[in-house]
Structure 1
Amino acid sequence: MKDLTQGSITRHILEMAAPMAAGMIIRTLYYLVDLYFVARLGDAALAGVSAAGNVMFIVLGLTQVLGVGTMALISHAVGRKDHSDANLIFNQSLVLSIVCSLLMLLGGYGLASAYMHSIAADADTAAAGITYLKFYLPGLALQFSIVAMSSALRGTGIVTPTMIVSMVTLLLNIILAPILIAGWGTGHAFGVAGAGLASTLAVAVGVVMLAVYFMRLEKYVSFDRALWRPRFATWKRMLGIGLPAGCEFGLMFVSMAVIYWIIRDFGASAQAGFGIGSRVMKAVFLPVVAVAFSVAPIAGQNFGANKPARVRETFRSAALIGSALMLLLTLMCQWRPQWFVSGFSTDPKVIEVGAQFLHIISWNFVASGIFFTCSGMFQALGNTWPAFISTATRLVTFAIPAIWLSRQPSFQIVYVWYLSVATGTLQTIISVILVQQQLRRRMPMPATVADLA
C-alpha cells in the first residue's frame, strides 16, 4: 500500500501515470498487433475486426462498473486507514467479476451475429467480425478478473505489477498473432479467428499471473474465502459508484455504433479507415488517460482522509499535465496524420479516411484531456453520475444531428468528424462545471495549510 495523502501531488501523478501509461499502451498494442496482421487479409476482414472491436466499449463499460467501484471504495478505505473494509471490497469484487464474466459470455455469443449484421458494410465484413468475436469473447470475459485485481491495487496506490503483467501478455500476443493469424511456422493460418484466439490466450495468462502475485506478494488486500459469500450491501456500494461509469462507456459504444452505421454506405474501405483512425486515437490518448486514471486513487485517498485542498490540487495538476500532452498530440496529428494510418494499410481510400479523421478530430484533443481528468475526479469523489450526464448529453447532441446529416443529399463523412469536435467540446464544458459543483458540495471545508502537509 502507498500513502498518497502525503507528499507532492504532481510527483504522485507522474509516478502513477508512467507505469499506468506503459500498461495501457501495452494493452492497446494487443489490438494494433492484431490490426497489422488482419489488414493483410483484406478490407472486409479489417473492417469486420475493427467493427467487432467496438464491442470492447461494452466490456469497458461493464468492467468500469466493477473497477471504478472497487478502486474508489478501496482508496477511501486506505485514506481513512480502514484495512478490513478494503479487504472486504476486494474479495467481493472478485465474486462480482465471476458473475459478470458469465453474463458477458451469454450475451456476447447470443448477440454477436445480430450486432455485426446491423452495422457491417457487407456480408463478408459481418462474417469476419462474427468469427473474430467467437474466439475473442472468452478473453473479454476474463477481463473482469484482471480489472478486479488491478483496480484493487490501484486503489492502494500500486500500479507496477499490472504494467508488468500487461507487458508479458503483450509479448505473448505478439508471438501468437503471426502464428495463429498468418500461419507462421505452422502452415495453418486461422485468419481473423487466430486474432481473437491469440488475444484470449494472452489474457488468460495475465489472469494467472495476477492471481499468483496476490497469493505470494500482495499483503494489504488478499484472497480470503471467508469473504467470498455474496454481501449485497457491499455490492450496492460498489454498483452505486460503478454503474454510472459503466453506463458512460455504454453510451460511448452507442456513439461509435452510430458512426459505423452512418458510414457503412461508403463501403468497407471507409469503415476500415475509421477503424484504424479511431484505434490510433485511443492509442495516442493513453498517456493522458493514465494521468486521469492516477487522479482517482490520489484524490480518492485524500477524500477519504478529508483533505480538500489536496483533492483540488490533484485536479488542477492533472488538468495542466493532460492539456500539455494533448496539445503536443494535436500538433502531431495536424502535421502528418497519414503517418499514423499508413502502417496498417496500403489502400489509398483507407489511408485517406483515417488520416482525415485524425486531422479533424485532433482539434478536440485538449478538451478530451480535461474531460478525462473530470471523470477521474468524479470517481475519486464517489459520485460518477455527473460523468454519465455529460456523456449522455454528448450522445444526444451528436447522434441525432449526425443521423439527420447522413440523410442529406450533400452528406460527407467529414461532417461527422466536425460534429464530434463540437459536441466533445460541449461535453468538456459541462463536465468542468459539474466537477466544480461536486467539489463545493462534497468537500465544503475551506482549504488550509494543514491540508497540504
Structure 2
Amino acid sequence: MKDLTQGSIPKSLIAMALPMMIGMVIQTLYFIVDLYFVGQLGPAALAGLSLAGNAMFLIFSLTQILNVSTAALISHAVGAKNKTDANITFNQSMMMSSVVGTIVCIIGYLGAKTYLNFISQDTETVLMGLAYLHWFIPCMALQFIMVSISAALRGTGVVKPTMIIQTLSILVNIILSPLLISGWGSDYAMGIAGAGLASSLSVVFAVVLLCYYFIKTDKYISVDFSLWVMNVPRIKKLLVIGLPAGGEFFLLFIYMATIYWLIKPFGADAQAGFGLGSRVMQALFLPAMAIAFAAPAIAGQNFGAGNFQRVRETFTWSAIMTCSLMTIITLVCLSQTELLLTAFSTDEEVILISVIFLQVICWNFVPSGLVFTCSGLFQALGNTMPALLSTAIRLVTFIIPAFWLSKQADFQIEQLWYVSVTSICIQAAVSFYLLKSEFKKRLPIHYLTNNVTDEINKSKLIS
C-alpha cells in the first residue's frame, strides 16, 4: 500500500502515471501490430477488425463498472486506514467479475453475427468480423478479472506489478500476432482470426501471472473465498459508483456504432478508413489517459482522509498535464497525419478518409483531455453520475445533427467529424461545470478556510 495523502501531488501523479504510460505505450505497439498485419489483408479485413473491435466499448462499459467503483471504494478505505473494508470490496468485485465474464462469453458467441449485420451491409466485412470475434471473445471475457485486480491495486497506490504483467502480456500478443495472422514460421496463416487468437492467448497469460502474484506476495488486499458470498450492501455501493461510469462507455459504444451505421452506405473503404483513424487516435490518447487514470487514486485517498485541498490540487495538476499532452498530440496529427497512417494500408481511399478524419477530429483532443480529467475526479469523489450526464449530452448533441445531415442529398462523411468536434467541446464545458458544482457540495469551503486560518496562526506564533 502506498500513502498518497502526503508529498508532492505532481510527483505522485508522474510516479503513478509513468508505469501506466509505459504499459500504454507498449499497448500502442500492440494496436499498431494488429493494424499493420490485418491492414495488409485488405479494406474488408480492416473494416471487420474495426467493427468487431468496437464491441470492446461494450465490454469496457461493463468492466468500467468494476474498474471505477473498485478503485474508488478501496482508495477511500485506504485513506481511512480500514484494511478490512478494502478486502471486502476487492473480493466482492472479484466475485462479480467472474460471473459477468462468463455471461459475456455466452452472449458474445450467440449475438456476434446479429451485431455485425446491423452495422455493416458488406458480406465480406461481416465474415471477417465474425472470424475475428470467435477467437477474440475469450479475451473480452477475461478482461473482467484483470480489471478487478488492477483497479484494486491502483486504489492502494500500487501500479507497477499490473503494469509489468500487462506489458509482458502485450509483448506476447505482439509476438503471436504476425505468427498467427501471416503464418510466420509455419505453413498455416489464420488471417484476421489469428489476431483474435493472439489477443486471447496473451490475456490468458496475464491472468495466470496475476494469480501467481497474488499467491506469492504480501499485499494490503488478498483473495479470500470466504468473502465470495453476496454482500448486497457492498454490491449496491459498487453499482452506485460504477454504473454511471459504465454508462459512459456504453454511450461511447452507441456513438461509435452510430457512426459505423451512418457511413455503411459508403462501403467497406469508409468503415475501414474510420476504423483505422479511430484506432490511431485511441493509441495516441494513451499517454494522456495514464495521467487521468492516476488522478482518481490520489484524489480518492485524500478525499477519504479529508484532505480536501489536495483533492482540488490533484485536479489542477492532472488537467495541466493531460491537456498539455493532448496539445502535443494535436500538433503531431496536424503535421504528420499521413506518416501515422500509411504503414497500415495501401488502399488510397482508406488512407484519404483516415487523413481527413484525424485532421478534423484532432481539434477535440484538448477538450477530451479535460473530459478525462473531470471523469477521474468524479470517480475519486465516488459520484460518477455527472460524467454519465456529460457523455449523454455529447451523444445527443452528436446524434441529432448527424441523423439530420445523413438525410440530406449532399451528405458527406467529413460532416460527421465536425459535428463530433462540436459535441465533445460541449461535453468538456458541461463536465467542468458539473465538477465545480461537485467540489462545492463535497469539499467544504470552511475546511479550506480553517486551513488558511491555521497557517496564519502558525505564522503569528513563529513571529
Letter in 2 for 1:416: L
Match of 2:98, SS state, is helix
d(CA) in 2 for partners of 1:287 and 1:41?
A: 29
- The residue that corresponds to 2:136 in the other structure is 136
1:399 corresponding residue in structure 2: 399
C-alpha contact (below 8 Å) 2:40/2:346 kept by paired residues: no
CA distance in structure 1 between the partners assigned to 2:264 and 2:433 by the alignment: 36
Query: One-letter code of the match for 2:374?
Result: C
1:390 to partner: Cα distance = 0.4
* TM-score normalised by L of structure 2: 0.96
User: Which residue number in structure 2 is paired with residue 213 of structure 1?
Assistant: 213
Counterpart position of 1:443? 443
1:166 corresponds in structure 2 to 166
Counterpart in the other structure of 1:119: 119
Look up the match of 1:75: 75
Please say which of residues 20-29 and 9-18 is displaced more in the overlay: 20-29
How has the CA–CA distance of structure 1 residues 335 and 121 changed in structure 2, closer, same or farther, with 3 Å as cutoff? farther
Q: Is the CA contact 1:165–1:210 (under 8 Å) kept in the aligned structure 2?
A: yes
Q: What's the counterpart of residue 327 of structure 1? A: 327
Deviation at 1:218, TM superposition (A): 3.8
Native 8 Å contact 1:263 1:270 kept in 2: yes
How far, CA to CA, are the matches of 1:241 and 1:107 in structure 2? 25
Give the structure-1-normalised TM-score: 0.98
SS in 1 for 2:186: coil
Structure 1: give runs of 5+ residues left out of the alignment. Answer: none
**Secondary structure at 2:278's aligned position in 1?**
helix
Q: What is residue 50 of structure 2 aligned with on the other side?
A: 50
Amino acid at match of 1:351: I
Confirm or deny: 8 A CA contact 1:30 1:199 kept in the other structure: no
1:193-232 pair list within 5 angstroms: 193-232=193-232
1:149 Cα deviation from its structure 2 partner: 0.4
What is the rounded CA distance, in whole Å, between the counterparts of 1:29 and 1:106 in structure 2?
30
Q: How many pairs align?
A: 451
Amino acid aligned to 1:289:
M
Displacement of 1:121 in angstroms is 4.1
Letter in 2 for 1:181: I
Question: Would you say the 8 A contact 2:42–2:345 is kept in 1?
Answer: no
What are the superposed Cα offsets for residues 81-120 of structure 1, whole Å, 9 maximum, x if unpaired?
A: 0011001111111101101101211221121101101112
Report SS of the residue matched to 1:3.
coil
Distance (Å, rounded) in 1 between the aligned partners of 2:358 and 2:66: 32
Counterparts of 1:27 and 1:116, CA distance in 2: 26
Task: Give distance in 1, aligned partners of 2:26 and 2:121.
Answer: 30
**3-state SS of paired residue (1:338):** helix
Maintained 8 Å contact 2:169/2:202:
yes
- Contact kept, 8 Å, 1:65 with 1:241, in 2: the verdict is yes
Aligned positions of 1:10-159 closer than 5 A: 10-159=10-159
Q: Is the 8 A contact 1:23 1:162 kept in 2?
A: no
1:415 aligned partner: 415
- Once residues 262 and 237 of structure 1 are traced to their aligned partners in structure 2, the CA distance between those partners, rounded to angstroms, is 38
SS of aligned partner of 2:344: coil
Q: Which moved more, 1:213-222 or 1:199-208?
A: 213-222
Q: Deviations over 1:116-144 (max 9, x none)?
A: 01112400001110111111001110000
User: In 2, are the aligned partners of 1:291 and 1:318 still within 8 Å (CA)?
Assistant: yes
2:144 aligned partner, one-letter code: F
Cα distance in 2 for partners of 1:146, 1:245 equals 18
Sequence identity, in percent? 53
Question: How far apart are the structure 1 equivalents of 2:103 and 2:338?
Answer: 40
C-alpha distance in 2, partners of 1:102/1:155?
Answer: 25
The residue aligned with 1:178 is: 178
Q: Residue 361 of structure 2 corresponds to which residue in structure 1?
A: 361
Separation in structure 2 between the aligned mates of residue 20 and residue 375 of structure 1, nearest angstrom: 17
- Given that 1:24 and 1:286 are in contact with CA atoms closer than 8 Å, whether structure 2 keeps it comes out as yes
Aligned position for 2:429: 429
- Counting only pairs closer than 5 Å after superposition, residues 228-377 of structure 1 correspond to structure 2 as 228-377=228-377
Task: Give the stretch that moved more between structures: 338-347 or 74-83.
Answer: 338-347
SS of structure 2 residue aligned to 1:261: helix
| Maintained 8 Å contact 1:66/1:147 | yes
| Shift in Å, 1:24 | 2.4
1:341-381 Cα offsets, whole Å, 9 max, x none, are 11111111111111111110111111100000000000000
- Contact preservation (8 Å) 1:26, 1:166: no
Aligned-pair RMSD on alpha carbons?
1.2
2:181–2:195 contact (8 Å) kept in structure 1: yes
What CA distance in whole angstroms lies between the structure 1 residues aligned with 2:57 and 2:24? Answer: 15
**Residue 187 (structure 1) aligns with:** 187
Q: Greater Rg, structure 1 or structure 2?
A: 2
Work out whether residues 3 and 157 of structure 1, in 8 Å CA contact, stay in contact via their aligned partners in 2.
yes
Counterpart CA distance in 2 for 1:442 and 1:111 is 42
What letter matches 1:338 in structure 2? E
Once the two structures are overlaid, the 10-residue window that deviates more, 174-183 or 45-54, is 174-183
State the 1:29 CA deviation. Answer: 3.3
Residue range with higher mean Cα deviation, 26-35 or 37-46: 26-35
Q: Deviations over 1:146-179 (max 9, x none)?
A: 0010000100011111111111111111121111
Q: Match of 1:318, as an amino acid?
A: S
Give SS of 1:220's match: coil
After superposing the two structures, state which structure 1 stretch, 225-234 or 360-369, moved more: 225-234
Instruction: For residue 189 of structure 1, give the secondary structure of its aligned residue in structure 2.
Output: coil
Identify which range, 438-447 or 232-241, moves more after superposition.
438-447
